[in-house]
């Protein structure tokens, strides 16, 4: 089942610290041998300052109490550096911790800098030290501290590049602290900066977008409203282009979001085309499912894929998020996905059939007969389906869905009125504007 694991592809676009939750998840799902994951964790921690944690993992991996010398040395080094940075940033930190002093700050950055410099002897060096300190805190795993400092740093910083990386740092810290609402705010702020025209090079821009999308996965699949927002973000042309060129594996998440989100039909059609086009560059059961239902109309294939999708969702760190309810845990997304996928198949199936044998249909939908019949009756009752059940022969008979000619005519002409009004409004506006000029 590890074939559909995207961690190796997602990893490079994430911060080291962000990969950590993914590894935890994999360990829990036991997709890979434990040993391998522990090794990966140590590897991951090597470059960070979370030396204590690395030591613990090392101990559990090799079942010893000894710790390699270089780790010990590194720990000393890290502590020393932490000390040094703390000292450097101390003046500013004490200033910021004093609520009275902080109230003197105003919205004007220049004023603030001037004020700090004049009254507290806090110059650019100290501010820079704050940034370094925050970064170091982050590296050490103290995310909340890092987030606070970075927030304050941003208020004082004048260098736009530094401010940007501070923003990235803040976002990562918020994600790791699971403050989804704040993280979402940071995400949008970052997105604005990336999309602004003044962003350095297009290449850089694309790269940043890719990163942003990867990071946002944490937020979107945890935030309540995330599934709509993921479509809003990923389905933008610029972002979709970036996905197609550099990170086609993100299509899985977009596809899932589309499937569980019923109200996105118009964009969905466009998206199907993208899926079709990118089948050669990326494929997994979820996209293949869509291709089966909407491109090739292979319902048997779709059914098979649906089963595979279940596995994929359970093993995906983002999609397979568990919710503990009492004694047993469920994956809410999985159920939702399956329900919607079933509906997709059924809908398309009904569109091209006049009479369907329920037995065959339920087989395609992975339902048993009783359950299926209830399901269909419900659909009919909620007037989602224009059909009748012929219980004698065990078939569903679709009502002929020939569009009424008159309805069609009305459809065609309905918009005309609105358009004309708008046109007139436009003209009048223009006419009024002209004399004024």
Partner 1 sequence: MASKFWTQGGSDTEEEETDIEDEIENGGAGETTAAAAGSRYLQTNASDSDDSDGQKRVVRSAKDKRFEEMASTVDQMKNAMKINDWVSLQESFDKINKQLEKVMRVTESDRVPNLYIKCLVMLEDFLAEALANKEAKKKMSSSNHKALNAMKQKLKKNNKQYEELINKYRENPESEEEKFEDEDEDEDEDESGSELEDPSQIAAESSDEDDEGEDMDDDDADGAWEKKLSKKEKLMDREFKKDPSEITWDTVNKKFKEVVAARGRKGTGKFEQVEQLTFLTKVAKTPAQKLEILFSVISAQFDVNPGLSGHMPINVWKKCVQNMLVILDILVQYPNIVVDDMVEPDENETQKGADYDGTIRVWGNLVAFLERIDNEFFKSLQCIDPHTREYVERLRDEPLFLVLAQNVQEYLERIGDLKSAAKVALRRVELVYYKPQEVYDAMRKLAELSEDGEKDGDETKVEETRGTSAFVVTPELVSRKPTFPENSRALMDILVTLIYKSGDERTKARAMLCDIYHHALFDEFSIARDLLLMSHLQDNIQHMDVSTQILFNRAMAQVGLCAFRVGLIAEGHGCLSELYSGGRVKELLAQGVSQSRYHEKTPEQERLERRRQMPYHMHINLELLEAVHLICAMLLEVPNMAANSLDAKRKVISKTFSRLLEVSERQPFTGPPENVRDHVMAATRALCKGDFQKAFDIINSLDVWKLLRNRESVLEMLKAKIKEEALRTYLFTYCSSYDTLGLDQLTRMFDLSDAQIHSIVSKMLVNEELHASWDQPTRCIIFHDVEYSRLQALAFQLTEKLSILAESNERAVEARTGGGGLDLPLRRRDNQEYAAGTAGGGGGRWPDLSYGQGRQGSSGRAAYTGGGRPLALGQASRDRSGQSRGYSGRAGSGMRGSQMDASARMVSLNRGVRG
Binding residue count for partner 1, defined by CB under 8 A: 56
The one segment of 22-30, 64-72, 115-123, 275-283 that binds partner 1 by CB under 8 A: 275-283
Give min distance, CB of 348 to partner 1, in A. 7
Distance CA 386, CA 369 (A): 20
SS3 393: coil
145's tokens: 């501290």
Binding flag, residue 378, partner 1 (CB under 8 A): no
Binding flag, residue 347, partner 1 (CB under 8 A): no
> What sign results for the dihedral spanned by CA atoms 22, 192, 189, 154?
positive
Contact call for residues 378 and 385 (beta carbons, < 8 A): no
* Chain-centroid distance, C-alpha 396: 40
Distance CA 106, CA 71 (A): 45
Distance CA 396, CA 376 (A): 9
Contact call for residues 187 and 173 (beta carbons, < 8 A): no
**Of residues 367, 345, 382, the one with CA closest to residue 259:** 345
Phi, then psi, of 25 in degrees rounded to 5 = -60, -45
Q: Give the footprint of partner 1 on residues 295-334 (CB under 8 A).
A: 295-298, 300
- For partner 1, the closer of residues 179 and 276 by Cβ is 276
Binding flag, residue 402, partner 1 (CB under 8 A): yes
Binding flag, residue 436, partner 1 (CB under 8 A): no
- For partner 1, the closer of residues 203 and 436 by Cβ is 203
**Which string of x and - marks every residue 18-57 that binds partner 1 (by CB under 8 A)?**
----------------------------------------
Helix 226-234 to helix 237-246 angle (10° resolution) is 80
Near partner 1 by CB under 8 A: residue from 399, 420, 421, 428: 420
Give min distance, CB of 426 to partner 1, in A. 5
Give min distance, CB of 71 to partner 1, in A. 32
Binding flag, residue 158, partner 1 (CB under 8 A): no
Binding flag, residue 422, partner 1 (CB under 8 A): yes
Which helix (H) or strand (E) segment holds residue 14: the answer is none
Near partner 1 by CB under 8 A: residue from 118, 196, 265, 280: 280
Give min distance, CB of 325 to partner 1, in A. 39
- For partner 1, the closer of residues 280 and 323 by Cβ is 280
Compute CA distances 86 → 70, 90, 143, whole Å: 24, 6, 16
- For partner 1, the closer of residues 114 and 393 by Cβ is 393
Give min distance, CB of 99 to partner 1, in A. 45
Near partner 1 by CB under 8 A: residue from 430, 435, 436, 437: 430
Distance CA 271, CA 267 (A): 6
Near partner 1 by CB under 8 A: residue from 265, 370, 407, 416: 416
Distance CA 278, CA 285 (A): 14
- For partner 1, the closer of residues 136 and 271 by Cβ is 271
- For partner 1, the closer of residues 183 and 247 by Cβ is 247
Contact call for residues 234 and 250 (beta carbons, < 8 A): yes
Near partner 1 by CB under 8 A: residue from 14, 85, 96, 206: 206
Distance CA 422, CA 118 (A): 59
- For partner 1, the closer of residues 40 and 206 by Cβ is 206
Q: 305-311 — which CB contacts under 8 Å span 24+ positions?
A: 306/338, 306/341, 306/342, 306/345, 306/366, 307/366, 309/285, 309/337, 309/338, 309/341, 310/334, 310/338, 311/1, 311/4, 311/285
**Which string of x and - marks every residue 218-257 that binds partner 1 (by CB under 8 A)?**
-------------------xx-xx--xxx-----------
Contact call for residues 256 and 234 (beta carbons, < 8 A): no
The one segment of 51-59, 155-163, 324-332, 391-399 that binds partner 1 by CB under 8 A: 391-399
* Contact positions vs partner 1 (CB under 8 A): 197, 201-203, 206-207, 237-238, 240-241, 244-246, 270-271, 273-274, 276-277, 280-281, 295-298, 300, 348, 351-357, 360-361, 393, 395, 398, 400, 402, 405, 408-409, 412-413, 415-416, 419-420, 422-423, 426-427, 429-430
């Amino acid at each position: 089942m590890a074939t559909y694991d995207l961690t190796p592809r997602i990893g490079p676009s994430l911060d080291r610290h962000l990969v950590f939750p993914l590894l935890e998840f994999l360990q829990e799902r036991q997709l890979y041998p434990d040993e391998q994951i522990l090794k990966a964790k140590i590897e991951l921690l090597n470059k960070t300052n979370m030396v204590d944690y690395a030591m613990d993992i090392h101990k559990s991996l090799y079942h010893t109490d000894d710790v390699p010398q270089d780790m010990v040395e590194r720990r000393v080094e890290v502590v020393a550096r932490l000390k040094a940075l703390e000292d450097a940033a101390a003046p500013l930190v004490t200033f910021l911790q004093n609520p009275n002093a902080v109230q003197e700050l105003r919205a004007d950055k220049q004023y603030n800098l001037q004020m700090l410099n004049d009254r507290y002897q806090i110059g650019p060096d100290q501010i820079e030290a704050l940034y370094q300190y925050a970064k170091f805190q982050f590296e050490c795993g103290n995310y909340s501290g890092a987030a606070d400092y970075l927030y304050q740093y941003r208020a004082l910083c004048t260098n736009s590049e530094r401010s940007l990386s501070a923003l990235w740092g803040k976002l990562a810290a918020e994600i790791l602290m699971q403050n989804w609402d704040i993280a979402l705010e940071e995400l949008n702020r970052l997105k604005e900066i990336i999309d602004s025209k003044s962003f350095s090079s297009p290449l850089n821009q694309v790269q940043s977008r890719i990163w942003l999308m990867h990071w946002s996965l944490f937020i979107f699949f945890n935030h309540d409203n995330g599934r709509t927002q993921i479509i809003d973000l990923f389905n933008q042309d610029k972002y979709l282009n970036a996905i197609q060129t550099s990170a086609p594996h993100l299509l899985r998440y977009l596809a899932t979001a589309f499937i569980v989100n019923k109200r996105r039909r118009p964009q969905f059609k466009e998206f199907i085309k993208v899926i079709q086009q990118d089948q050669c560059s990326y494929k997994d059961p979820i996209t293949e499912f869509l291709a089966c239902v909407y491109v090739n109309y292979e319902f048997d294939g779709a059914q098979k894929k649906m089963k595979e999708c279940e596995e994929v969702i359970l093993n995906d760190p983002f999609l397979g998020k568990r919710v503990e309810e009492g004694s047993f845990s469920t994956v809410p997304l999985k159920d939702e996905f399956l329900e919607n996928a079933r509906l997709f198949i059924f809908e398309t199936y009904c569109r091209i059939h006049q009479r369907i044998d329920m037995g065959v249909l339920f087989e395609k939908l992975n339902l048993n007969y009783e359950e299926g019949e209830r399901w269909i009756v419900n659909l009919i009752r909620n007037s989602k389906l224009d059909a009748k059940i012929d219980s004698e022969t065990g078939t569903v008979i679709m009502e002929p869905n020939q569009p009424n000619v008159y309805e069609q005519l009305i459809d065609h002409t309905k918009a005309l009125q609105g358009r004309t009004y708008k046109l007139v409004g436009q003209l009048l506006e223009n006419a009024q504007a002209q004399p004024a000029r």
